[in-house]
Amino acid sequence: GAGVSQTPSNKVTEKGKYVELRCDPISGHTALYWYRQSLGQGPEFLIYFQGTGAADDSGLPNDRFFAVRPEGSVSTLKIQRTERGDSAVYLCASSPGTSGMGTGELFFGEGSRLTVL
C-alpha cells in the first residue's frame, strides 16, 4: 500500500521567502508528526497532530513555523521569512495510534529537503 508521501522532495529558496511543505499520511492514520533532521543529526521533534488538532507543538523553534491539518489527513508545514539555519530535511511521520504521542511505530516519509540560500 501507499506509504507517507511528502512534497516537494527538494525545495531551494532564498532567505526571507515563505515555503510550504506537504505531507500525505497513510490512509486511516490519526497521528501525524513533523520532525526536522539536520545533516549528521537525528530527527528533532517539531509538532504532533492527533486528528485535526495540534496536540503538542512544543518543538516548533519559533513563531515563523506553523503547521495545519484541517481535515485530519494531509498536513502542511509553513515557514515564514526563511533563514539559512532552516536548511534541513523535514520529515513527516504517521501512526495509527490514538494513545498519544511516543507510542508505537512511526511510518516516515522520505522527507522534503529545504535549502535556504
Partner 1 sequence: GENVEQHPSTLSVQEGDSAVIKCTYSDSASNYFPWYKQELGKGPQLIIDIRSNVGEKKDQRIAVTLNKTAKHFSLHITETQPEDSAVYFCAASIPGNTPLVFGKGTRLSVIA
Please identify, using beta-carbon distances, which residue of 51 and 59 lies nearer to partner 1. Answer: 59
The least CB distance from residue 22 to partner 1, in Å, is 15
Q: CB–CB of 4/26 below 8 Å?
A: yes
Please identify, using beta-carbon distances, which residue of 16 and 104 lies nearer to partner 1. Answer: 104
The least CB distance from residue 81 to partner 1, in Å, is 26
Q: CB–CB of 98/30 below 8 Å?
A: yes
Please identify, using beta-carbon distances, which residue of 80 and 99 lies nearer to partner 1. Answer: 99
79/41 Cα distance (integer angstroms): 21
Residue type for 96, please? Answer: P
64/73 Cα distance (integer angstroms): 23
The least CB distance from residue 83 to partner 1, in Å, is 23
List of residues contacting partner 1 (CB under 8 A): 4, 33, 40-45, 48, 56, 59, 91, 93, 99-106, 108-111
9/32 Cα distance (integer angstroms): 18
The least CB distance from residue 107 to partner 1, in Å, is 8
